[in-house]
Amino acid sequence: MQNVINTVKGTALGVAEYWTPVLKESKFRETGVLTPEEFVAAGDHLVHHCPTWQWAVGDETRIKSYLPHDKQFLLTRHVPCSRRCKQMEYCEEQEEIIEADDPDGGWVDTHHHDLGALGLDEKVSEMTLEPKTESAALDIKASGKTSKPNFAPSGNNNGTAVGGDDDDDDDDDDEEAIDMEQFEESGLLDEEDQNTVIASSNPTKEMEASAGEIIHTRTYDLHITYDKYYQTPRLWLSGYDEKRKPLTVEQMYEDVSQDHAKKTVTMETHPHMPGPPMASVHPCKHAEVMKKIIQTVTEGGGELGVHMYLIIFLKFVQAVIPTIEYDYTQNFAM
């Protein structure tokens, strides 16, 4: 049903955009909108300061006459997205107050105990010495079959043990082997530990065992187009898994703030490219947000040039897609 609604809205907006005249006079400071010429100027500034972005043309049959032929929209590829938005959801149990003695209340780390967000899990707790392992060590020591450390005593500069020879080394190896056999036969070496020993002796199997711990990072191609109806930039997203297989609609919604999924972010037809609908951040509020930013800067005694539009645009749109790490632009202070 939602797809039908989006299709109807997209068709209606397409008709409205067709009949909307091209903005000729700058209204950037008054309303936060852009003319096509201002969009190109802001795009040139973005490409210059952040070379990961570049101009693109798209389908020749969809060229917009009010934009230069070689500057139809902006594009950046292979933007990493290593976490889902759900992993960033707020949970009071994960909080930890940093600098609690601070009279101003200190800092609050909202994901201090979120081991999953750090790529860790409950297995960290297993790094401590288990009671049964401790018991096993005592049993072996009591049997008198402990392995001998292989190091040179102090005062011997030739790197060999005093009074030692090759035969002693062979005896040590045999003794260690017997200890391991008895350890396994005693049942104290559980199945997980045995797998660890086997994997350590076989580098190929060890690599295969660790392969499951690799973080599979999604990537996104991002486009910025000029929306003639709203007279603002518009962001489009196309996602891929670690094998560059296109993500499904529901998978892409996993990387969108749940406050904006299927509301601010919808699936619509790209104005410059054929193919299935793409995820898009709807531009209906962009001009309003930009107008407030301009007013804030002006009240602070500053001045915001139109060339900075896309730099700022990428920063406030980050709230909608916080886990897609595309913003490598210069810093901006209010």
Q: Which residues are catalytic?
A: 284
Please return the burial class of 321, using the count of CB atoms within 10 Å of its CB with bins 0-12, 13-18 and 19+: buried
d(CA 112, CA 263): 31
Helix orientation angle between 36-49 and 309-317, rounded to the nearest 10 degrees: 80
Separation between Cα atoms, residue 9 and residue 4, nearest integer Å: 9
Contact between 84 and 243 (Cβ < 8 Å): no
317, 281 in Cβ contact below 8 A? yes
Report the distance separating Cα 291 and Cα 283, nearest Å: 14
Rama region for 231: left / alpha / beta (φ>0; ψ in -120 to 50; rest): left
Contact (Cβ atoms closer than 8 angstroms) between residue 271 and residue 277: no
Cβ–Cβ contacts within 10 Å for residue 326, how many?
20
Distances from the Cα of 165 to the Cα of 83, 156, 177, angstroms: 56, 15, 19
